[in-house]
Structure 1
Amino acid sequence: MPLTQDIEEYFAREVLPHVPEAWIDIAKCDERDGKPGIVGYEISFNRYFYRYQPPRPLAEIDAELKAVEAEIQALLKEVAE
C-alpha cells in the first residue's frame, strides 16, 4: 500500500471486493505515526534481480537421463551378482 494513501480507502478499494469478511486490526499500530498497520517496505527480489535462463536443449537433457539410467543399471547389476 502506498504510504501517501488513506488506509481505509485503500482497504475498501483493494481488499474488501476480494475478501468481504476482512478487517483491519487497529490494535497493531506503528510506533512512528501511531496509525493502524506497521510501516515497512517489501522488495520483490524476483522482480528486480531475477534473470531468465532458458532451459537446456531437450537432446542434452535426454542424453543426461540416459547416462544416469545406464549408471543405475550398472549399480543394480553389481548388487544382483
Structure 2
Amino acid sequence: MPAIAVHFMPNDVTVTAEAGEPMVAVAHRAGVSIPTGCLMGSCHACEVELDDGTTLCACISGIPGDRPKITIHLFNDPVW
C-alpha cells in the first residue's frame, strides 16, 4: 500500500502515513498537537477539516486512503 503525504495546516508540516492509520497518531508523529477531550468523537474538541471540506473528529478517524496526499486543517478553539 503506497504512503500518503499528510499536510497539516496551519502548522505547514508534512509527514507520510498509511491509509487507516489513526489521525491523532500521525499528527503526534509530525509534532502537531490536535486537542482531544472525550476520545470518542462526541465532544468535537478534535474536529479537523480535510482539504475537500469534510469535517471529522480526528480522535476516531483514520487517514483516508483514497488519494496520494491530503491536507488537514486544524481549528484553534480557545475553549480547549
Where on the TM-score scale, by shorter chain, does this alignment land: which range? under 0.3
What is the TM-score of this pair, normalised by structure 1? 0.25
**Greater share of strand residues, 1 or 2?**
2
What is the TM-score of this pair, normalised by structure 2? 0.25
Mark the structure with the bigger radius of gyration: 1
